[in-house]
């Protein structure tokens, strides 16, 4: 109602001033009456319905038989044949897609019509179940728009999935009269069964001009790379049969062929293989003498033995997918579903979604010529790889073959990635099964670089009010040759930092950053003042580290720039009695964490800590005023998959006038709290990322019988 009145009010003033003044009142009255009438009508007629039957409006109760009928005159235009030279930059109108912050294309679907020729004979089945599912999926997806003017891609509702179920010329005419056809520019057709007798073309024979084709069974000669999309041939059996994923491991047969109506030549080659290798090869065919009522598709036979299909596929390690009349075979989908590694023998076949899927990880492709060598080729595949391929095959099915929805969305995503390449989905996202995605590590600092020594490091001292101790730390740290800047993070809002003149005079720039709140996470903020890659986090009471130790720590960090390199090491342990993690600060033979009271690390991890810390860990740390270092250890280990490096021998971390880390750590409640942190973080990360190692880094000649003055870092481990 608000909307309605606003609409009329805005229209009103625009109209009224043009009238003569004396008529104004009359017109205003008239408008008011009309308006009131409208409102009354609206309220009267629609109000009750909106409560009772809103659901009826979203689901239209219509049958496909009720759709409008369009008669195609015999002489209506036919599009040009498909243009083999089409590429995205020549035949696709990118201006329709535009730049948008979401980087998503908009897809419009033409409404369903029934096409008949001049004599009223229908051109094709109005729509198949699969095509309807596909269009529903698009319509429910983020890509969908109902505004034809905003669309980047148009999907006709004319079903061309199966070329044999339609009349080619008339279907082409139907395409040509679509409202935005424009030579097929930005139109996407889905076809799974192309070609027909006698030559079985590998692409849809319907003249389609510039339209993109998502086709099943392309060969390298018909596939326009970077323009068309190769899609699977959907197997309706997937919806019927529930094949639970079968774990890896040995299977009864090594090679299985389940296709019916194979060419006798192929069959005889397969039989030769079977004769050579006996039981491990199973060649199935159509059953000839099934009792009535048993669907022939669900059974396969070998001699008199009857097998259930597709269940039998799960009994084999490798399943042969041979070309039939066409290149694309529905059996591929069944094979993948069964977690059987497909052996694809179809020269020049463009595998489904090959633009993004790495089929080498899920299948074995063998040239037709080499069919006789199939057995030995497959035997050379390592067992562990077979297991990975089986899981990969199943994952491909689940993600991209399982339903018409999966097929439709993968197709649109591929086109989307071409139009917004800078926002494209990565290889890993396409190809890695969820379990691998979950467990694999993609180190953000993956390039092995040894940062130049000249860059130096920035020391960050977090302080609250221990000025005296802070000044001692500053003086000590400033002696380290590679120090390039010192940053004091002043975490006390109630007290101003000492005056400039009181600070120690040091050879490198000293900056004081004042924080807005006394939070532990301030220590890990990626301050703009940090210009070096290396950061030394150091507490304001760590005065016992020698200059040699710090310099050596920096050198070690340069060799391991993606790790935490620190001095005091700690360990996490599994407590069998309590059934949870426990924090350990005793003298152990292992380390899994270093304290950030004195540790070198890459500035990038400050960025990660501040912006990418999973869950509520950051707030939790700030609230508890503890465990920021454990959180940092978890974060770095989780993102890199690597252990920390502890440098130099253990020292007593004690200073006369302050409570040092060790002093605190001894406190029992402190230990309990730290253990809690580990358990909390492990549950947030969903895993225990920390790595346990038994080594620490010392200078090459540490404690060696060698003149001290010739050692680069003589002053290591002294108290």
Partner 1 sequence: MQTRKKHIFLTFLASWLLLFFFGGDQLRRFTFFSGRKAEARRNWPSWTDRSLLKSFADPEELQSDGDPSLPSPRARRAARLSVYKNSRCRMETCFDFSRCKKHGFKVFTYPRERDQPISESYGKILASVERSRYHTPNPEEACLFILSIDTLDRDHLSGQYVRNVDEKIRSFPLWNGGRNHLIFNLYSGTWPNYTEDLGFDIGQAILAKASFYTESFRPGFDISIPLFSKDHPQRGGERGWLYQDSIHPKKKYLLVFKGKRYLTGIGSGTRNALHHIHNGKDIISLTTCKHGKDWEKHKDTRCDKDNVDYEKFDYQELLHNSTFCIVPRGRRLGSFRFLEALQAACIPVLLSDGWELPFAEVIDWGKAAVVGNERLLLQIPSAVRCIHPERVLAFQQQTQFLWDAYFSSVDKIHLSGLWQIIKDRLLPHRSRSRFLWNTLPGGLLALPDFSTHLGDFPFYYLQRGRTPPALAEHSKLSACHNTYPLPAFSGSSPSEKFTAFIRAISPSISLSQPILRLIQAVSGSQYCAQILVLWSCEKPPPPSEKWPQTTVPLTIIQGRRKLSDRFFPYAAIQTDAVLSLDEHTSLSTSEVDFAFVVWRSFPERIVGFPTQSHFWDAEQRRWGYTSKWTNELSIVLTAAAFYHRYYHSLFTEYLPVGLRELVDGLAACEDILMNVLVAAVTKLPPIKVTQRKQYKETVPQQVGGCKDGDAGAAPAGGQSPLPQHSPPAKVKGTAGAAGSRRISQQQDCLNQLVDWFGYMPLVSSQLRLDPVLFKDQVSVLRKKYPRLEKP
Nearer to partner 1, 184 or 216 (CB): 216
Nearer to partner 1, 54 or 668 (CB): 54
CB 432 within 8 A of CB 398: no
Question: Rounded to the nearest whole angstrom, what is the least distance from the CB of residue 21 to partner 1 in the complex?
Answer: 13
Strand order in the sheet with 212-215: 188-191, 212-215, 229-230
First CA to last CA distance, the chain: 82
Nearer to partner 1, 184 or 553 (CB): 553
Nearer to partner 1, 297 or 658 (CB): 297
Question: Rounded to the nearest whole angstrom, what is the least distance from the CB of residue 463 to partner 1 in the complex?
Answer: 25
Q: How far apart are CA 559 and CA 565, in angstroms?
A: 10
- Rounded to whole angstroms, what are the CA distances from 659 to 544, 594, 718? 13, 18, 20
Give the residues across from 513 on adjacent strands: 489
Nearer to partner 1, 200 or 471 (CB): 200
Give the residues across from 607 on adjacent strands: none
Question: Rounded to the nearest whole angstrom, what is the least distance from the CB of residue 299 to partner 1 in the complex?
Answer: 11
Question: Rounded to the nearest whole angstrom, what is the least distance from the CB of residue 164 to partner 1 in the complex?
Answer: 8
Question: Rounded to the nearest whole angstrom, what is the least distance from the CB of residue 501 to partner 1 in the complex?
Answer: 32
Question: Rounded to the nearest whole angstrom, what is the least distance from the CB of residue 31 to partner 1 in the complex?
Answer: 8
Nearer to partner 1, 487 or 591 (CB): 591
Nearer to partner 1, 364 or 520 (CB): 364
Question: Rounded to the nearest whole angstrom, what is the least distance from the CB of residue 30 to partner 1 in the complex?
Answer: 6
Q: How far apart are CA 151 and CA 148, in angstroms?
A: 5
Question: Rounded to the nearest whole angstrom, what is the least distance from the CB of residue 385 to partner 1 in the complex?
Answer: 4
Nearest Cα to Cα of residue 413 among 105, 153, 92: 105
CB 608 within 8 A of CB 630: no
Question: Rounded to the nearest whole angstrom, what is the least distance from the CB of residue 389 to partner 1 in the complex?
Answer: 9
Question: Rounded to the nearest whole angstrom, what is the least distance from the CB of residue 87 to partner 1 in the complex?
Answer: 6
Question: Rounded to the nearest whole angstrom, what is the least distance from the CB of residue 676 to partner 1 in the complex?
Answer: 16
Nearer to partner 1, 250 or 382 (CB): 382
- Rounded to whole angstroms, what are the CA distances from 317 to 42, 259, 376, 390, 480? 67, 16, 14, 8, 62
| DSSP structure class, residue 53 | -
**Strands 153-155 and 598-602: what pairing?**
unpaired
CB 191 within 8 A of CB 169: no
Strand order in the sheet with 281-283: 281-283, 253-257, 316-322, 341-345, 364-365
Give buried/exposed letters for 309-337 (b at 16+ CB in 10 A, else e). Answer: bbebbbbbbbbbbbbbebbbbbbbbbbbb
Nearer to partner 1, 70 or 449 (CB): 449
Nearer to partner 1, 180 or 696 (CB): 696
Nearer to partner 1, 475 or 683 (CB): 683
- Rounded to whole angstroms, what are the CA distances from 90 to 185, 419, 513, 544? 10, 13, 56, 69
- State both tokens at 384: 């562990």
Nearer to partner 1, 9 or 90 (CB): 90
Nearer to partner 1, 131 or 181 (CB): 131
Question: Rounded to the nearest whole angstrom, what is the least distance from the CB of residue 278 to partner 1 in the complex?
Answer: 23
Question: Rounded to the nearest whole angstrom, what is the least distance from the CB of residue 475 to partner 1 in the complex?
Answer: 26
Q: Which residues neighbour 606 within 8 Å (Cβ) at sequence distance 6 or greater?
A: 524, 525, 526, 527, 530, 535
Of the CA atoms within 13 Å of residue 486, those in its CB half-sphere come to 26
Between CA 412 and CA 171, with CA 183 as vertex, the angle to 5 degrees is 80
Nearest Cα to Cα of residue 232 among 338, 161, 143: 161
**Helix (H) or strand (E) run with residue 345 in it:** strand 341-345
Q: How far apart are CA 699 and CA 711, in angstroms?
A: 9
Question: Rounded to the nearest whole angstrom, what is the least distance from the CB of residue 169 to partner 1 in the complex?
Answer: 20
Nearer to partner 1, 290 or 467 (CB): 290
CB 286 within 8 A of CB 301: yes
């Amino acid at each position: 109602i608000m909307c309605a009145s606003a609409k009329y009010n805005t229209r009103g003033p625009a109209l009224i001033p043009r009238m003569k003044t004396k008529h104004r009142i009359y017109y205003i009255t008239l408008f008011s009456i009309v308006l009131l009438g409208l409102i009354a009508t609206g309220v009267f007629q629609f109000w009750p319905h909106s409560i009772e039957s809103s659901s009826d409006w979203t689901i239209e109760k219509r049958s496909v038989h009720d759709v409008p009928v369009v008669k195609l005159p015999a002489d209506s235009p036919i599009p040009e044949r498909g243009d083999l030279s089409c590429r995205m930059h020549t035949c696709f109108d990118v201006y329709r897609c535009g730049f948008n912050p979401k980087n998503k294309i908009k897809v419009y679907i033409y409404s369903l019509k029934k096409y008949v020729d001049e004599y009223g004979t229908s051109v094709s089945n109005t729509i198949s179940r699969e095509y309807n599912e596909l269009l529903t999926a698009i319509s429910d997806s983020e890509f969908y728009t109902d505004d034809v003017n905003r669309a980047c891609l148009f999907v006709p509702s004319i079903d061309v999935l199966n070329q044999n179920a339609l009349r080619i010329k008339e279907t082409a005419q139907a395409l040509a009269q679509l409202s935005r056809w424009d030579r097929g520019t930005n139109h996407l057709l889905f076809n799974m069964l192309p070609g027909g007798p006698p030559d079985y073309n590998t692409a849809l024979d319907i003249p389609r001009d510039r339209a993109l084709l998502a086709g099943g069974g392309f060969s390298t000669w018909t596939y326009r790379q970077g323009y068309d999309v190769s899609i699977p041939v959907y197997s309706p059996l997937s919806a019927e049969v529930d094949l639970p994923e079968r774990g890896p491991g040995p299977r009864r047969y090594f090679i299985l062929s389940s296709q019916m109506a194979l060419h006798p030549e192929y069959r005889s080659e397969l039989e030769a293989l079977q004769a050579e290798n006996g039981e491990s090869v199973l060649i199935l065919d159509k059953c000839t003498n099934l009792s009535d009522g048993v669907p022939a598709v669900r059974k396969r036979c070998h001699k008199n033995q009857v097998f259930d299909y597709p269940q039998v596929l799960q009994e084999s390690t490798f399943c042969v997918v041979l070309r039939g009349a066409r290149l694309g075979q529905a059996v591929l989908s069944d094979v993948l579903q069964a977690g059987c590694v497909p052996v694809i023998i179809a020269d020049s076949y463009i595998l489904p979604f090959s633009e993004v899927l790495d089929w080498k990880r899920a299948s074995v492709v063998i040239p037709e010529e080499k069919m006789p060598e199939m057995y030995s080729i497959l035997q050379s595949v390592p067992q562990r790889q077979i297991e990975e391929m089986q899981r990969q095959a199943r994952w491909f099915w689940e993600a991209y073959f399982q339903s018409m929805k999966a097929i439709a969305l993968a197709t649109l995503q591929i086109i989307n990635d071409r139009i917004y390449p800078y926002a494209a989905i990565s290889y890993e996202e396409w190809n890695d099964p969820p379990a691998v995605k979950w467990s694999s590590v993609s180190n953000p600092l993956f390039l092995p670089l040894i940062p130049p020594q000249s860059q130096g490091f920035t020391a960050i001292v977090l302080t609250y009010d221990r000025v005296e101790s802070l000044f001692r730390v500053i003086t000590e740290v400033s002696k380290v040759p590679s120090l390039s800047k010192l940053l004091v993070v002043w975490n006390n809002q109630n007290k101003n930092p000492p005056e400039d003149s009181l600070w120690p005079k040091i050879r490198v720039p000293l900056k004081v950053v004042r924080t807005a709140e006394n939070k532990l996470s301030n220590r890990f903020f990626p301050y703009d003042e940090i210009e070096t890659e290396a950061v030394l986090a150091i507490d304001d009471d760590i005065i016992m580290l020698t200059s040699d130790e710090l310099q050596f720590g920096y050198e070690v960090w340069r060799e391991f720039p993606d790790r935490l390199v620190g001095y005091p090491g700690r360990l996490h342990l599994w407590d069998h009695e309590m059934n949870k993690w426990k924090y350990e600060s005793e003298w152990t033979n292992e380390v899994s964490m270093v304290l950030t009271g004195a540790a070198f690390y890459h500035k990038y991890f400050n960025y990660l800590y501040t912006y990418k810390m999973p869950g509520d860990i950051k707030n939790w740390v700030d609230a508890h005023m503890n465990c920021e270092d454990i959180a940092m250890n978890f974060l770095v280990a989780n993102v890199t998959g690597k252990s920390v490096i502890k440098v130099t021998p253990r020292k007593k971390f004690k200073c006369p006038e302050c409570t040092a880390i060790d002093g605190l750590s001894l406190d029992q409640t402190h230990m309990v709290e730290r253990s809690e942190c580990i358990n909390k973080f492990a549950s947030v990360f969903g895993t225990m990322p920390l790595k346990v190692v038994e080594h620490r880094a010392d200078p090459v000649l540490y404690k060696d019988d060698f003149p001290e003055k010739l050692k680069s870092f003589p002053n290591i481990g002294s108290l």
